[in-house]
Structure 1
């Protein structure tokens, strides 16, 4: 085989290796983003012009999140928030619209204490999506109902659903990543609270 033929074979082999590496890294990145963002990955993909744009958006969220000072709550603060939630939930019986407004404010307060910026709702969603993607649909639904409740356009059943949705994010924010219970006190309380509303 001539030298030119060997060079051509080497160039083709290098191109094949580079293309294979690119495809594998793309699949690996996609798998990472799907695992990290769950249903938020699909939502972002639907709202974007291309898969590349969607994945760039999610990567940018991860990079922004890495710059935030997200921190767990100390036990006394968690206990205080837990008690405030119970009070809000008890007020639901007599004033459901007011209780939903309080639930929204309480979730926002926990976010702020954890280190999340709380200025704009869409930015809150983006920041939360990195670690709390599984509860974002709850938060979106609760926020939508809360907005309609402010205009007195939400039924009592919708307000009850808003409380359930807010509670999902509230409890996740309250838990430390190391001690999120799978079937402990919070899970048992969630089922009991669901029945109470």
Structure 2
């Protein structure tokens, strides 16, 4: 009888320890992946979600994820500035180019980009807070020809947010290489997004509407010395020949 009780106690203790480990692992995944964990758990269940996210972490750990040099970051900043100007006249084409730019930067960082469907979950390991917006932006871009200008603008903002993190964040702190005096890492200039002219859709007067669009479209992405930026939409409407 005593032996049976001891065995039962041992089994209960082991089960409690296993449950505790499982709960800690679940909390860790929820903290790291946030809404991405919730989305996946709702789709396939918590157990499969934990397995999938753990597999993502193992896969990324095998890649050579590396930070970018100051020169590469500056080059990508220049490309983004060009897309800002292009967005004023051709929003759909600019959104498609922005999607390609994010993919190019991810490849430069060391991500595997040949499979676009695999790229999104891979990016979620270090950029989980941007993945849902990025997912929606890609869906909008795939229908760029029929998408509304505002939807394309939101897609551009999502691309810009993820691009900023890819340019600035050393994914995997242990893999980041410190800067040296020979190759200093300079601050990334703020990236801005002008808003193209669009028909009025609210009761705001022209001045208030222009101010609202400009504030949303030109929010700075980083506190750093600013570089010349493309004209805002309101300026473009007042002086179309000034660009």
Question: Is the pair's TM-score, using the shorter chain for normalization, greater than 0.5?
Answer: yes
- TM-score by length of structure 2 reads 0.71
The CA distance in 2 between the partners of 1:110 and 1:82, in whole Å, is 11
1:79/1:31 CA distance change after superposition, 3 Å: same
Verify: 1:17 aligned to 2:40, yes or no: no
Q: Of 74, 99, 102, which aligns to 2:97?
A: 102
Tell me the residue number matched to 2:217.
194
Runs of 4+ in 1 over 3 A off after TM superposition: 185-193
Alignment counterpart, residue 44 of structure 1, candidates 28, 40, 43: 40
Are residue 156 (structure 1) and residue 149 (structure 2) matched?
yes
Residue 54 of structure 1: how far off its partner (Å): 1.3
- Equivalent residue in structure 2 for 1:170, among 144, 163, 168: 163
Instruction: Give the Cα separation in 2 of the matches to 1:193 and 1:80.
Output: 25
Q: Give the Å deviation of 1:156.
A: 1.4
Of 51, 54, 66, which residue of structure 2 is paired with 1:56? 51
Q: CA RMSD of the aligned region, Å?
A: 2.2
Cα offset for 1:141?
A: 1.3
Give the conservation status (yes or no) of the 8 Å contact 2:77–2:189.
Answer: no
Q: Which moved more, 1:103-112 or 1:89-98?
A: 89-98
Distance 2:169 2:190 in 1: 18
Whole-Å separation in 2 of the counterparts to 1:105 and 1:142: 12
For structure 1, the 5+ residue unaligned runs are 180-184
Q: Deviations over 1:134-156 (max 9, x none)?
A: 0001211110111001xx11111
Q: CA deviation at 1:193?
A: 7.3
Number of residues paired by the alignment?
A: 185
Any gaps of 5 or more consecutive residues in structure 2? 177-186, 194-214, 219-231, 234-243
